[in-house]
Structure 1
């Protein structure tokens, strides 16, 4: 795929920033590229502590909600938590269930079945709650858009408290946005217009943690006891792909410290099952190793299994549950590979390569995989992608977007085609009659204002830096920028004309390329590329021809091959010996 490499051109006195904070000017430049300019912002980014977390009382309705739940506990009323089936929903459910039990509540929990119930509260769950004598419903990671089900609950005399973090639903009237209101007794969601909470980007589990701080306070329990749930809130922040900015950075930093010394038997078992080492777990491992295992049960079975793991206090039982979840995730990965192949075949067959918005119907794909497949298509074609599957009550789909395309807004323009939809700028879920799928494809592409430039992925280089500049001290300072993730991506460095002196292809799947590199200034360094060697072969062939490219990839010495490379500096530890290396991420 064509890429456009651009250098971040933000200016500042990097020497002065480096001197003030005791960091290399290169680190200062990376921080400036994160749009941090004020001394207070930079300090908060580098040194944010638990004491710097925002006051939960600033959140609209949080005291009201806590007092409602406290009164229900005092009255012995039956409270039901209704959560969600993804990482964020499971962690938020765990936080609320443990906290309400700590407060002495008569409480149970329902996590909707992805296939039978769909997302969040619905009328079936309200009817079930009423039949089982539930007095109060407390939501987490859902509820803000459940206008009709909450109306039904109120008609039946129930109390409803919503804790959520999703966008407030709205409709357009004469070009103006009108936000929809709910009849819930209290709504704790920082995205409400009237909410004074200074950071709007919390995940559902973090909102639950903030609520519990206040609930403990009104219950006469030391609010500091709630800090045990920072581990879960930080985990969910990464797992739900929230922006790692502002308060989220602190929550994830603290959460990772706790996770690396976790006392939760279920979490311990899941870490061991995935062969990870305590003390070295990073945000990457949540996003791509242990997090997907918690997600897998909600996709292919029931998320109650993941919740059961978190609640488990027996190490033997925890090991068994962790093994089952890991096996489910392996099954999910195999199913995903097949679904992505089928989707790419559909795009070829129906000549959709030139569509600005991909809308792919995979009737036999497991509906829980639609979002993952849409994400893979977005990455492969660098354009918004929606994958639709055949459900029991019509078609259901998920979409994943690119930065310059607000998926929720664009779906809103086609709302007459849906039986339901929701989401935010980067992702959405929806249902619609099967006969409307082609109409949706036409509508989205007709409305799309995406330019050709928008559809070319841009690789933003933080620092053009010769590999000769790399030192162990610089690499250790780069760790201060972690955790890496959405909106705080790992910095990208680049160097020109690195000569590939030799090359080996390694790994069971032949997906590791090790290179001995020589810089323009005569420094030698090892480079490692994790990916398809054909990507390197194609790039070399474009510059030097097929014969030299094939020779290089076959392991022969082919002199004079120099490539521009993007990379991240790293320390390679092998048999107790440390050496500098670069992890190559791209070449041209």
Structure 2
């Protein structure tokens, strides 16, 4: 079961509330997100485009724009080389659209995930050279391509890098590098995604080419999609880009986006960061996983409604296929863990020979959620095994992999996620060594739930729920607030949904408030928990709506349910004890 903690960061919440005209509860939530000081609170609540930093502050941003302007004037061929994920596709779209608007002779290339792998490779360089390309402009990749860029320079090409990934020991000898993570870069915000870096570059280029800079505002929606889809921290400038981008997406004129929203049945919805992260974004990513990311790029660039509709439906079908394949992979992994000795391991290494290699990371993430352990999923590849890992907070995956680096042909990543390739014969040695080296304890395998504010449901009002909207968009680095009340009486329970995957409860708080509570988690596990805790008879009574002895502590987020013109307060349950 989980351990619950209450966030205990201190501040004068009443004073912050008075100063900004917000509830003291909202003030506490803002402090819990490490937003401190009047200016930071103002930007958090009301930040807009005018609070975005000038792109000229980013090292080489203006220099890159100057080189591009020169190449455009000389009618040189420019090739944008992007990446096959949601960030790479959106970054490519921004650069290509921007270059064409500035009169460039430009085209694009996106590597194939299976054939080319990530980022620049020497084949892509060779093709560009053979096709008479003068300048390569990368996005969402390039900072690690030292040898590949050296090859392009040897062939006489100009290479411009825009990227946001961490720098490695060697830095490519490109003509210019735009990446806020460069140590000598003075740009104040370091956590931009690749598409946001591309957007910043286009502001500089439009300025130099005498095009109204306001036209680059059209790129904000692509930067927002990439920021959420690439799971960047929704802090500072990222939060503003996503907030502004969501406004634009909800009235977008982009044919492809409109078609994708329609294909997913969201035309009447208010698109939020949730829809990007879990509905629209996975469709864009699915094309790079199971087909080619060029389809997703074609969608964003589509100038014809019929073409956009076709592409949107193709991406939706690919994503549905990806979901089915993921479910099968997750089920196979759970079976292997439950029926074998793997369950005892501190670090799970699961071999799924037939799993599509692009799904290994998603499956690892699902298994990590279920067991709250670090997970590696390995699958067969052309030259051995490939895999992806997903970690827990107390386990630095990249550092632990570095301790057995000799077993891999290639590996990389960060504390929470990693990718690897290794010879098939090294699999057992990897499984053994990664577990022998682990110093994880049983306590590390208990999920931790951080409660923002212990708050009885009687405190919830429509005004407070609407005020919580000021804290959006939610995501990594700006999580949805979590409230909790202990020992609520559960008056009744019903299972809903055509897949019977939702539970609706009637709950009674300590102050006598009765409210509906929705639970969208694992229904079977919830019922099992009730039967274990309160017995079969009391659980039956609960589902029959009869008086019963069931009480639960609930961690929740408050909302408003609108049905046939009626608005009622409700809570959505995140965790229970």
Please report how far the alpha carbon of residue 440 of structure 1 lies from its aligned counterpart in structure 2 after TM superposition: 2.3
Q: Relative to 1, partners in 2 of residues 1:99 and 1:530: Cα closer, same or farther, differing over 3 Å? A: same
CA distance in structure 1 between the partners assigned to 2:223 and 2:230 by the alignment = 10
CA distance in structure 1 between the partners assigned to 2:165 and 2:429 by the alignment = 27
Q: Give the TM-score, by structure 1 length.
A: 0.95
Please report how far the alpha carbon of residue 512 of structure 1 lies from its aligned counterpart in structure 2 after TM superposition: 1.1
CA distance in structure 2 between the partners assigned to 1:297 and 1:422 by the alignment = 23
* Structure 2 partner of 1:355: 345
Q: Give the TM-score, by structure 2 length.
A: 0.97
* Structure 1 partner of 2:125: 126
Q: Relative to 1, partners in 2 of residues 1:409 and 1:159: Cα closer, same or farther, differing over 3 Å? A: farther
Is 1:291 paired with 2:281? yes
Once the two structures are superposed, the pairs formed by residues 561-580 of structure 1 within 5 Å of their partners are 561-580=550-569
Contact 1:101 1:107 (C-alpha < 8 Å) held by counterparts? yes
* Structure 1 partner of 2:18: 19
Which deviates more from structure 2 when the two are superposed, residues 283-292 or residues 5-14? 5-14
Once the two structures are superposed, the pairs formed by residues 210-221 of structure 1 within 5 Å of their partners are 210-221=200-211
Is 1:249 paired with 2:248? no
Contact 2:541 2:548 (C-alpha < 8 Å) held by counterparts? no
CA distance in structure 1 between the partners assigned to 2:280 and 2:121 by the alignment = 30
Please report how far the alpha carbon of residue 402 of structure 1 lies from its aligned counterpart in structure 2 after TM superposition: 2.2
Is 1:511 paired with 2:511? no
Please report how far the alpha carbon of residue 571 of structure 1 lies from its aligned counterpart in structure 2 after TM superposition: 0.5
Is 1:529 paired with 2:528? no
Once the two structures are superposed, the pairs formed by residues 285-324 of structure 1 within 5 Å of their partners are 285-324=275-314
* Structure 2 partner of 1:114: 113
CA distance in structure 1 between the partners assigned to 2:511 and 2:401 by the alignment = 53
Please report how far the alpha carbon of residue 550 of structure 1 lies from its aligned counterpart in structure 2 after TM superposition: 4.1
Contact 1:388 1:396 (C-alpha < 8 Å) held by counterparts? yes
Please report how far the alpha carbon of residue 438 of structure 1 lies from its aligned counterpart in structure 2 after TM superposition: 2.4
Contact 2:542 2:548 (C-alpha < 8 Å) held by counterparts? no
* Cα deviation 1:436-490 (Å, max 9, x = unaligned): 2222223332333433322211010001100011100000000000000111111
CA distance in structure 1 between the partners assigned to 2:418 and 2:405 by the alignment = 13
Is 1:587 paired with 2:571? no
SS at match of 2:475: coil
CA distance in structure 2 between the partners assigned to 1:41 and 1:408 by the alignment = 33
* Structure 2 partner of 1:87: 86
* Structure 2 partner of 1:138: 137
* Structure 2 partner of 1:398: 388
Q: 2:401 aligns with which of 408, 411, 415?
A: 411
Once the two structures are superposed, the pairs formed by residues 430-441 of structure 1 within 5 Å of their partners are 430-441=420-431
Please report how far the alpha carbon of residue 563 of structure 1 lies from its aligned counterpart in structure 2 after TM superposition: 0.9
* Structure 1 partner of 2:445: 455
Contact 1:93 1:140 (C-alpha < 8 Å) held by counterparts? yes
Please report how far the alpha carbon of residue 530 of structure 1 lies from its aligned counterpart in structure 2 after TM superposition: 1.1
Is 1:258 paired with 2:248? yes
* Structure 2 partner of 1:34: 33
Which deviates more from structure 2 when the two are superposed, residues 402-411 or residues 238-247? 402-411
Contact 1:167 1:424 (C-alpha < 8 Å) held by counterparts? no
* Cα deviation 1:173-192 (Å, max 9, x = unaligned): xxxxxx22211111111111
CA distance in structure 2 between the partners assigned to 1:549 and 1:538 by the alignment = 9
CA distance in structure 1 between the partners assigned to 2:253 and 2:268 by the alignment = 12
* Cα deviation 1:18-68 (Å, max 9, x = unaligned): 111111111111111111221111111111110101111111111222122
Once the two structures are superposed, the pairs formed by residues 164-563 of structure 1 within 5 Å of their partners are 164-169=163-168, 179-277=169-267, 280-553=270-543, 555-563=544-552
Contact 1:359 1:386 (C-alpha < 8 Å) held by counterparts? yes
In structure 2, list runs of 5 or more residues that go unmatched.
none
Please report how far the alpha carbon of residue 279 of structure 1 lies from its aligned counterpart in structure 2 after TM superposition: 6.2
Which deviates more from structure 2 when the two are superposed, residues 388-397 or residues 308-317? 388-397
CA distance in structure 2 between the partners assigned to 1:119 and 1:312 by the alignment = 25
* Structure 2 partner of 1:176: none
* Structure 1 partner of 2:50: 51
Contact 1:89 1:204 (C-alpha < 8 Å) held by counterparts? yes
* Cα deviation 1:400-451 (Å, max 9, x = unaligned): 2223333333333333222222333322222222222222223332333433
Contact 1:95 1:229 (C-alpha < 8 Å) held by counterparts? yes
Please report how far the alpha carbon of residue 558 of structure 1 lies from its aligned counterpart in structure 2 after TM superposition: 4.0
Q: Relative to 1, partners in 2 of residues 1:534 and 1:350: Cα closer, same or farther, differing over 3 Å? A: closer
Give me the CA root mean square deviation: 1.5
CA distance in structure 1 between the partners assigned to 2:149 and 2:435 by the alignment = 35
CA distance in structure 2 between the partners assigned to 1:245 and 1:354 by the alignment = 38
SS at match of 2:556: strand
* Structure 2 partner of 1:70: 69
SS at match of 2:419: strand
Please report how far the alpha carbon of residue 264 of structure 1 lies from its aligned counterpart in structure 2 after TM superposition: 0.2
In structure 1, list runs of 5 or more residues that go unmatched.
170-178
Which deviates more from structure 2 when the two are superposed, residues 465-474 or residues 38-47? 38-47
CA distance in structure 2 between the partners assigned to 1:447 and 1:216 by the alignment = 53
Q: Relative to 1, partners in 2 of residues 1:69 and 1:416: Cα closer, same or farther, differing over 3 Å? A: farther
Contact 1:216 1:223 (C-alpha < 8 Å) held by counterparts? yes
SS at match of 1:73: helix
Contact 1:121 1:149 (C-alpha < 8 Å) held by counterparts? yes
Q: Relative to 1, partners in 2 of residues 1:7 and 1:399: Cα closer, same or farther, differing over 3 Å? A: same
Q: Relative to 1, partners in 2 of residues 1:346 and 1:535: Cα closer, same or farther, differing over 3 Å? A: closer
Please report how far the alpha carbon of residue 284 of structure 1 lies from its aligned counterpart in structure 2 after TM superposition: 0.2
* Cα deviation 1:83-116 (Å, max 9, x = unaligned): 1111111000100110111111111111111111
Which deviates more from structure 2 when the two are superposed, residues 183-192 or residues 401-410? 401-410
